[in-house]
Copies of this chain bind each other. A is one copy, B any other.
């Protein structure tokens, strides 16, 4: 790197900018997708016409070091990703971040997962990277990614669920994210299916997130171990100071542990109530389920499917596929790029 100024040059040198004295006028070839998660930061370049991203970078988010620090690192990762492509060929940047956020003004309002409040993330990224930016909720981006390039490609009505620390949701209708009156739609995780049930972190009772998120599943596993359940998870809990993760439960179930399998089936059964409610209410073509817990495969999907069938209306059920996500870690990056393209060009 010869000059500091050069090193800090914006990614792709902006749209239609000059490079080596030649005006760049070729059509955009790429869109950058940025997925800012509570744990990881992912950046990639997605082909403008769709397809798998190239050069996905992944780092720890380190949100506790503040938005400016994270944005600086996002800009550096974008520069790394852009180094492989023709200057000026990147149309812009889609950014997905945990909400609630204001899509219109591009401000992250409040994120328990990042610990940020009222951060003008869209403008910060735009200034650091020198490219136009569109910001949306991470769960919306993941759903949009699966709609654009993944398991729900082109479906007229798609609902995406991500089972993670919480349960995120995104609704895509006729190729657009359904945002609702104030951009807050899609909070499937906070659908109560048990009005007097478990207290959720949001303050309400019986939210499906309290049962079928990673921590919800882990909590249920620990409860049963405390009651003396016979399981390989008991030895793991002993070793890790009583801590169990949903991943451990999935691994144990895959290895044939019947208690772990039962814990997953219980979680799937409660998730099914929310899924059946979604089917009765929105009659979607496809529900795409993403997140670490889907690694449990049939231990999750088989009881889920069975219970949804018991609860949802037959005709609506017949019209709906319930499928695991295809894009895995890349859904957020691809979806954020898609959200940018739709936001700026009106289509993907």
Contact = CB atoms under 8 A, between A and B. Distances in A.
Interface of A: 100, 109, 156-157, 169, 171, 173, 178-188, 190-196, 202-204, 206, 269-270, 273, 276-278, 280-285, 310-311, 313, 315-316, 318-320
28 contacts: A100-B313, A169-B281, A173-B178, A178-B282, A180-B282, A180-B284, A181-B285, A181-B319, A181-B320, A182-B283, A182-B315, A182-B318, A182-B319, A184-B315, A185-B283, A186-B281, A187-B281, A187-B316, A188-B281, A191-B280, A192-B277, A193-B195, A194-B194, A195-B270, A204-B310, A204-B311, A206-B273, A277-B277
Copies in the complex: 2
A59 to B, nearest CB: 30
A190 B283 contact: no
A190 B313 contact: yes
B100 A180 contact: no
A283 B156 contact: no
Given A100-B313, A185-B281, A276-B204, A180 B157 contact: yes
A206 B185 CA distance: 24
Nearest to A191: B277
B204 A181 contact: no
Contacts of A277: 190-192, 277
A183 B203 CA distance: 35
A315 B110 CA distance: 11
Given A100-B315, A181-B283, A184-B283, A192 B273 contact: yes
Nearest to A182: B319
Contacts of A270: 195
Contacts of A273: 192, 195, 206
Contacts of A193: 192-195, 206
B313 A187 contact: yes
